[in-house]
Structure 1
Amino acid sequence: MNTLPFAATTPVSVASVGLRARDGEALARFYKDVIGLVEISRQGGMIALGAGGRTLLEIEEDASATPDDPRQAGLFHTAFLLPERTDLARWALFARDGNLRLEGASDHLVSEALYLSDPEGNGIEIYADRAPESWTKTGDGIAMATNPLDFQSLLATMPEGDEGWRGAPENTVVGHVHLRVGDPATAEEWWHEAQGFETMARYGDRAVFLATGGYHHHIGANSWRSAGAAGRDPHRAGLSWVRLSSSNATQEKEFADPWGTLIRVAPA
């Protein structure tokens, strides 16, 4: 496959995520060994990891940071989008054979996904999109759900004699980032006004999904565990920032959402 997934071709997309780690080396090792990212560069206490020569994750060590708190605003998960469904099948077998502790496996209608957490509690989604032309449009955006993943159907995509998982494929990207917020309605308004995102779906009043260019979502925001959360403590481990790539930007700018989460917008 020579082209990036649809998620990365929209006017604004997710470029990379920054994490503050209590043990940067250990966390980087996890993302290399389990997620299949490769080290691209390091400087001081910062380690950049990615795929296909693109940085997707930057880990900065801060041994004095306090552990993240899932009840506070921050990162719900970073979602790594694999180019093909077969890639997800390969990773699923890798996870099974490595006895990885998965926390979920879902069919979202628009995508299929597996969930886990890194050693410092940061959520991770590994997923593959269904073809955009198969997505069901609704009056409010795109139909999404959380149904059980059909592993038998997924694994049937692997050809006989397949070599299996060999690390994140070249065109792996961060397809979306899901945030913990105190109030999804407030988050929705901010993403509309500050970033020009459109609402694509809602799960009641506890989660909202936003995007540009017709993607199902580049940003998710939920209050499932963080309802009423106040501003984020900058000394906590976990999410440092989210970097967006924008075809309209001429220079990098930094914003803060209502909970102090840093959103960096850089030229595409």
Structure 2
Amino acid sequence: MNTDASRDAPDDRLPAGTRIGRAALRIVDLDETTAFYRDVVGLGVLDRDGDRAVLGVDGTPLLVLERDPDRPDRGRTDAGLFHTAFRVPSRAALGEALVRVRDRWRLDGPSDHLVSEALYLDDPEGNGVEIYRDRPREEWPVADDGTVRMATEPLDVQGVAAAAGGASAGLVDDAPSGTDVGHVHLEVTSLSAFEAVYVDGIGFEVGMTGPNVRFVAAGGYHHHLGANTWRGRTTPAAGRGIAWFEVVVPDAAAVEAVRDRLDAVAADTDVDVGVEVREDGIAITDDDGIEVHVRPEFA
């Protein structure tokens, strides 16, 4: 599912075809957490051993779970994950997810964001999860400055349930074809450092901003990444939780452009950013110790 615009991007911005790829979590209980993402979110188990599980849809990996019992719990002041957001392709699919959550888990704060409708919950180890569907792009409200406007309003839960057949709908175990990771939302220690890495360096465009929050995206999407300082995190990510996530760009030239921009950020600012060259792209460690893999499509 690709809802990104096809327009060209400026040389210092990511191409419009940019998307989020896989996300990875460090956890303790691999059995329980795998069961949650399989039975509640609806992902299929694509690969599994004693310390690692890969889950996805239609053979496409979306989530990697890495068992790491020796790593400490995430501290109250640690930066890290706010939520991983799984995007489903229709309101009916969101309704099916709602039925699974109501039957098998706990729903927390269903919301209408004007551009999307969303369900929120936590996995068994406290990692935030969003399941959402986008409204058609032509329906997204636009602010005076040209950015996509979002809000948080109560979700029409009955309408979402009705889209899947309402009370008569049976359980649908699997998320449908077209499900992907639409965005990742982080808790950071500094929004200015976040912008230095993800906007000036990686090349996302700033979208809607609010009190202590930034949304950034490529290709006119409402947001591929969110970052907030709502809980006053003050120390880098160190414990369990997010291990890494992917930013997937159209080609190797886009990866090289990211690397050049990050070199400039490292040279011109005091933001601590590490870049490692990998066979399939580059791995970036941001100022909060969060690892981001930038790779070309089909790498």
TM (normalized to structure 2)?
A: 0.82
Instruction: Report the residue type matching 1:69 in the other structure.
Output: G
Moved more, 244-253 or 206-215: 244-253
Which protein has the bigger strand share?
A: 1
* Match status 1:261 vs 2:296: no
TM alignment of 1:142-157, pairs within 5 A? 142-157=148-163
**Partner in structure 1 of residue 208 of structure 2:** 201
Task: Report the CA distance between 1:7 and its aligned residue.
Answer: 5.3
**Partner in structure 2 of residue 109 of structure 1:** 114
Which protein has the bigger helix share?
A: 2
Larger radius of gyration: 2
**Contact 1:49/1:56 (<8 A) preserved:** yes
What is the distance in 1 between the residues matched to 2:56 and 2:5? 15
Task: Report the CA distance between 1:44 and its aligned residue.
Answer: 5.4
* Match status 1:134 vs 2:131: no
Q: What are the ranges of 5 or more consecutive residues in structure 1 without an aligned counterpart?
A: none
**Partner in structure 2 of residue 245 of structure 1:** 248
Per the alignment, in what secondary structure is the counterpart of residue 32 of structure 1?
Answer: helix
What is the distance in 1 between the residues matched to 2:73 and 2:92? 36
Task: Report the CA distance between 1:230 and its aligned residue.
Answer: 2.2
What is the distance in 1 between the residues matched to 2:161 and 2:180? 22
Task: Report the CA distance between 1:94 and its aligned residue.
Answer: 2.4
Query: Which residue of the other structure, out of 86, 89, 104, is the alignment partner of 1:80?
Result: 86
What is the distance in 1 between the residues matched to 2:93 and 2:5? 17
Instruction: Report the residue type matching 2:114 in the other structure.
Output: L
**Contact 1:7/1:218 (<8 A) preserved:** no
**Partner in structure 1 of residue 12 of structure 2:** none
**Partner in structure 2 of residue 192 of structure 1:** 199
TM (normalized to structure 1)?
A: 0.91
> Structure 1 pair 37/70, CA: closer, same or farther in 2 (3 Å)?
farther
* Match status 1:6 vs 2:7: no
Per the alignment, in what secondary structure is the counterpart of residue 237 of structure 2?
Answer: coil
Query: Which residue of the other structure, out of 161, 164, 185, is the alignment partner of 1:158?
Result: 164
**Partner in structure 1 of residue 25 of structure 2:** 19
Instruction: Report the residue type matching 2:3 in the other structure.
Output: F
TM alignment of 1:42-57, pairs within 5 A? 42-43=48-49, 45-57=51-63
**Contact 2:17/2:249 (<8 A) preserved:** yes
Moved more, 126-135 or 87-96: 87-96
What is the distance in 1 between the residues matched to 2:147 and 2:175? 30
Moved more, 78-87 or 20-29: 20-29
* Match status 1:119 vs 2:124: yes
**Contact 1:8/1:175 (<8 A) preserved:** no
Per the alignment, in what secondary structure is the counterpart of residue 141 of structure 1?
Answer: coil
